[in-house]
Structure formats: C-alpha cells, structure tokens
Amino acid sequence: MDPPSAMPPNSPTHTSEQSQCWITEINISHVKADPECKVSGQIFVDEDVVCSLPWIESTVPLKWSGLLPWSAPLSSEITLRVCRSVKDKSRHYYFPPFSIPEVDETGELTLALSEARWLATIRFLTLKAAEHSFPSALEKLSLLEDEREALNPEAAEKGLFKHVLQFTRFATEVLPEPTIKMSLVIVMNTWELLDQQAQLDEGIKSILQNLICIRDVNDMTHRFSGSALASAIGSSEEPIRCILGLLEQISIYMHNQLSTNNLVCIPTDKEERGDTDSVDEDLARLKDLAVSFRDSWMPMGALQDTNNPVYNDQPDITNQDTYAEATIPDRADSSGTLNHGASSAIDPHEILDLLRPAEPSGYDPDQACLDGTREAILATLIKLTQTRHTSESLMWVSGQVGMGKTAIATSLCQRLHNARALAGSFFFQPNDPESSSPLRLFNNLIRAIAIQ
C-alpha cells in the first residue's frame, strides 16, 4: 500500500475526496517533569507513518511546531503515538484515532489518554480553518499595504515578499475556492515569520530577489477590471494555479528555513536530493511561468477600454499590406533641390521617424529605484496609469532636488514597460535644447506609443 503524500502539493488544486491539511503544532500537557525522561512521537495515517516527532526532554514544554502537509482520503484514520523513555526504557501511548472531518473550524483538536492524564492538542490548517482565518489574512494584507515603507535595506528586502501576497490575493479574487484561500493563509504565515527576523541570511535574500518577477505579473493584472478581467481569466486559470502552487512551495521552504520545523516528514526522493536544489528549480520555473503569463495577456490590452472609440479598430502599423503605399512630403535634399512627394512603398517606421524624435529621450534603467524601495508610491502610480474612465488624468510630483523624483519616474517607466503597457516616456531637461522643446516632447510620446 502506498503511503499518503507528505509533500507540499504541486498546485493548490485538489480533489474534493482528498483531505488537504497541514499540522502546524502538537502540544502534550500534564506530563510530569523528569530530568531522566524524554518524549517523542509518530503520526500515522491509516497504517503508514507520515511524521516522526524528535525527542524532547520532559523538563521543557512538549511542543512540536512547523508545517506538515499531506494528502489522504477524508475517511483516513489518523493516530498519534507517543513514546516515553526513562533511563532507556520506553513505553508507547496511543491517543484515540480521529479523522479530519472531526476538526472544528478553528483547526484545533484535543485528545485524551485513557491510561494517563496526558492531553494532546493538535492544531491544523484545514479547508474549514482556512475559511475561518481568511478574513483576518486579508485584513493584515490591507494594513501592510497602508504601512509607510521602512528606509533600512533589510526591510526593503523583506518587502519584496509582499508581491507574493498581492498575487495570492489576486488569485483568491478570480478563483474564490477554499484551497486558494488556504494558500493565502500559508503565505501570510510565512510573511509574519519573515517580518520577525532581525537579519536575513543570504539564501533567503536570494529567494526574495528572485520573487521580483511576480511584481511584473501584478502590474499586468492591475490593467484589467470588470468584463475585461473575466475574459482574460477564462484562459488563464491553469497558469494562475501553477504560479500559485510554486509560490506556496517556496513560501513553505522559507518558513522552514526561518524556523525550526519539528514536524519532520518521512524523507522522500525529492527531499533526499536536497531542499536547496528543489527551491532553485521552483524559482527557475516560476520565472518562466511569470514571463509566459505576462506575455499571454499582451493581446488582451485592447479589452481595457472598449467604451472609448479612440482605442477601437486601430490599424497595425507593422502590417506592410496596410501601409504599403505612403506619400512622402516635399522636402529639400542636401543640395537644396526640392523633391516632390511621391507614392512609394516604405517602412512604416520611416514615417514615424519624420517626427524627428530626440535621441535618447526615454528612461535610463540605471536611474531606477532600488528593488523593494518606494513600493507604495509606485503601486499608486501604476494603479493611476492603468485605470481607465477616471477623472484623475494628471499626477504632479514635486519636491526638492535629490528627493528621488527622477528615480520614481524611471521606475514607473520600467514597470510599465515590463507590464507591456501602451505607454511612452520623455524626460524633460531644461538645460538641453533637444530635451526641452514641447514639440519634441509630444513627437516623442506619439512615436513611442504608435510604434507599439
């Protein structure tokens, strides 16, 4: 008989016949303190061991915590066996067996021994418990987004994990299923643990840097609302689930790195290969999925504003059949001879070059804000630029020299570019004739947008 899976699921999509649960804590009380006594335990699902609890001296609280996931039928019988060892003499105690449906909505279950006064309190994260905790997780996320950003680099690096929280919330909005809500609760638990750390090791920092790819996905999803979003989601459910599944696994890995996981799974081939190799593979796949997901939404940009006729039925300038014939305006050559316009097949980009754009006029990526900094104001700017049908059509940012206005503007341009937004940029330089002409400003923006 194959043992139940004790590994994180590849995706938060599960069958209803399976009980997807996580044990987060086991606490045994009323055990007499004895310096020569130690206690361990095992968890069985039906006849198979899925977890071994390490030895703990009875002079300290008998508490094992962590994240232990598994998948098993709802009817499966779960048993906790505790081993008490005194002077190398062991005795086993079996708590009454139970099944997941017996766990209440708080996720807590208390068991009593008939032959001793011990009590075992087991805390679970089940679908019912996730539903119970979901509103609190949403409220915590809203408070996080309203917080002022910390200036120290450590806090900025931690802030990169908020992109994971935001994508997970997006997934719960478009796929309101209990298993998706469970993912948000897990990710929020990891954030709370991450936020408590005074210092991060290089491994965690590297993971956080790799999660920046989710920021661009979030920027893309912010461009859609209402019917446009519903239309886009129809063909994107599976990619969303895959991305969410990877984020959940990465979150669990981080959780176990940031805390002592006493709920030890029985090793599998994947674990024997090494957790680090696994998370590196997950991060590489996450990047690929993020790029594919973002690119798959690019053609849907036309859906953003179907009520505005300006955005409807726009010709594609890259279609040579559409613009095979163009009239070149009269202009003088280098000798002063006037050449009259004539019909000729030309590259449509040559027409746009007649606007005589200033080069360079766009943004310099090296001037952007450091990753993880000024996220609050950038998120506000992204939302403003990507929200249609609003009276707010202009944002004026002012401040003293050196406050970071150019860096914020550069980061905004970079984020819009990564999100494939229909946008252009022009950086006005008052002391440069090429970059201070209003005509050049409009010509550059027209060309940048038209060429997309």
Distances (CA, A) of 336 to 249, 330, 354: 69, 12, 18
Ramachandran quadrant class, 139 (left: phi over 0; alpha: psi -120 to 50; beta: rest): alpha
What is the predicted pLDDT for the residue at 358?
67
Whether the pTM exceeds 0.85: the reply is: no
Per the DSSP assignment, residues forming a β-bridge with 91 are 84
What is the predicted pLDDT for the residue at 13?
40
What is the predicted pLDDT for the residue at 145?
80
Pairing, β 108-112 against β 89-94: unpaired
CA distance 31 to 52: 19
Burial class (CB in 10 A: 0-12, 13-18, 19+), 433: exposed
What is the predicted pLDDT for the residue at 19?
66
Distances (CA, A) of 211 to 204, 297, 325, 401, 423: 11, 20, 47, 32, 25
pLDDT tens column, 402-426: 888 888 888 888 877 776 676 777 7
Domains of the chain (ranges; CATH) run 18-125 (2.60.40.150), 128-305 (no CATH), 355-450 (no CATH)
**Nearest by Cα to 131 from 178, 183, 71, 187:** 178
CA distance 440 to 422: 19
Amino acid letter for position 213: C
Structure tokens, 375: 């996220």
CA distance 243 to 306: 29
Per the DSSP assignment, residues forming a β-bridge with 57 are 38
Under 8 Å between Cβ of 235 and 39: no
What is the predicted pLDDT for the residue at 435?
73
Q: Which residue in the block uniquely carries the two structure tokens 């570019």? A: 417
What is the predicted pLDDT for the residue at 302?
39
pLDDT tens column, 224-254: 655 556 666 766 788 899 999 999 999 999 9
What is the predicted pLDDT for the residue at 406?
83
Distances (CA, A) of 403 to 362, 400, 432: 20, 6, 22
**Nearest by Cα to 53 from 44, 66, 64:** 64
What is the predicted pLDDT for the residue at 248?
94
Residue numbers in the chain where pLDDT is lower than 50? 1-16, 269-273, 299, 301-326
What is the predicted pLDDT for the residue at 226?
56
Structure tokens, 394: 């202009």
Helices (H) then strands (E): counts for the chain? 14, 13
